[in-house]
Structure 1
Amino acid sequence: MEAPTRRVEIGRLGKAYGLEGALKFRGEPVVLELQRVYLEGLGYRAIREARTLNQEIVLYLAGVRSLEAAQALVGLRVYADVSELPKLEEGTYYYFELLGRPVYVDGKPFGEVVDIQEGPQDLLVVRAKGSSLRARHKTYLVPLQAPYVRLEPEGIQVEAIPGLFE
């Protein structure tokens, strides 16, 4: 029996662009390297063309050739098969690969990554491990690009700095 295809969300379709069925894309720039995407509720669509325009990504999808057809897709979530994502350099990760990873503070087990908040500075949302109800619901925000955060094969190592886990 074949293993099920694993997909990850890479973005959403934004506003229709132009009269020939193009759509602005809000999400991971990895879409520029893909041959196809999976659209929420509709299935796979080949990418006819993907390009950047004024620091935005514009997609032309197979079967979408008019403004009206593009407008019908606005807001849909866009997924990619994990097996089709480009390989990254060693030591770098896609964000979805960080979810569920253990977090160590000063070398001691602390918790796990439960979400990532994207913004001007991307933040790991870390849930502490603990037996109390309060501990299981408490989360901490850790800047992903901070010099005191290291992504390592066994997990995410964080050097405790004052105020980070208070």
Structure 2
Amino acid sequence: MADRVCVGAIAGAFGVKGEVRLKSFCAVPEDIAAYGALFTEDGARFFTVEITRPVKNGLAVHLSGVASKEQADALKGIRLFADRSRMPALPEDEFYHADLIGLEVRDTGGTLLGTVRAVQEYGAGDMLEIHGPGLKSTVLLPFTREAVPTVDIASGRIVVDPPEGLF
């Protein structure tokens, strides 16, 4: 999936005419329709997206090939991916979540702390979910310049300066 980026997820049917409620992960939610065909995670299916209107917690959209409420209901929970080549270039200090997942995490002294398992978004800012050796559970680290001074995608690592006692 390195050549695709997760841009949204289907939250379920919206109405009875085959529309779905789509949660967009794009900075501008409506941009999800500008990336061409969107693929399921396994790549087995793809859809074109036609936004009909904004709704609470997402967008109401028509997906190609979905014409009934039952078909729309069957897609609930499906994540949609766009080809990376269709995505806009990012400024130097911004990253796609997909590029952060799997990166090695080291502290400023070089000690391996773990790897990024996921990037969580709880409303107040992104959090890196880190899992590593010696940790009983995953650790959530704020994805701020203070806590994460260096992100080096090319070398596959992140240098962090976590708050005292977090690890």
Same fold, TM-score > 0.5, yes or no: yes
Q: How far apart are residue 31 of structure 1 and its match?
A: 2.2
Question: Within 1, Cα distance between the matches of 2:40 and 2:145?
Answer: 34
Q: Which of 123, 130, 144 does residue 126 from structure 1 map onto?
A: 130
1:24 alignment counterpart? 21
2:144 alignment counterpart? 145
Identify unmatched segments of 5+ residues in structure 1.
Answer: 129-133
1:61 alignment counterpart? 63
Larger radius of gyration: 1
User: Secondary structure at 2:48's aligned position in 1?
Assistant: strand
**1:11 equivalenced with 2:8 (yes/no):** yes
Is 1:91–1:151's contact at 8 Å kept on the other side of the alignment? no
1:113 alignment counterpart? 116
**1:81 equivalenced with 2:80 (yes/no):** no
User: Secondary structure at 2:99's aligned position in 1?
Assistant: helix
Amino acid at match of 2:69: L
Question: Within 1, Cα distance between the matches of 2:102 and 2:151?
Answer: 14
Output the TM-score relative to the length of structure 1.
0.72
Q: How far apart are residue 139 of structure 1 and its match?
A: 4.0
CA 76–103 in structure 1, closer or farther in 2 if over 3 Å, else same? closer
Output the TM-score relative to the length of structure 2.
0.72
CA 80–51 in structure 1, closer or farther in 2 if over 3 Å, else same? farther
Is 2:141–2:162's contact at 8 Å kept on the other side of the alignment? no
Give the RMSD, CA atoms, in angstroms: 3.1
Q: How far apart are residue 55 of structure 1 and its match?
A: 5.0
Of Structure 1 and Structure 2, the greater strand share is in 1
1:46 alignment counterpart? 48
Amino acid at match of 1:72: A
User: Secondary structure at 1:149's aligned position in 2?
Assistant: coil
Q: How many residues align?
A: 157
Question: Within 2, Cα distance between the matches of 1:150 and 1:15?
Answer: 39
Amino acid at match of 1:127: H
User: Secondary structure at 1:108's aligned position in 2?
Assistant: coil
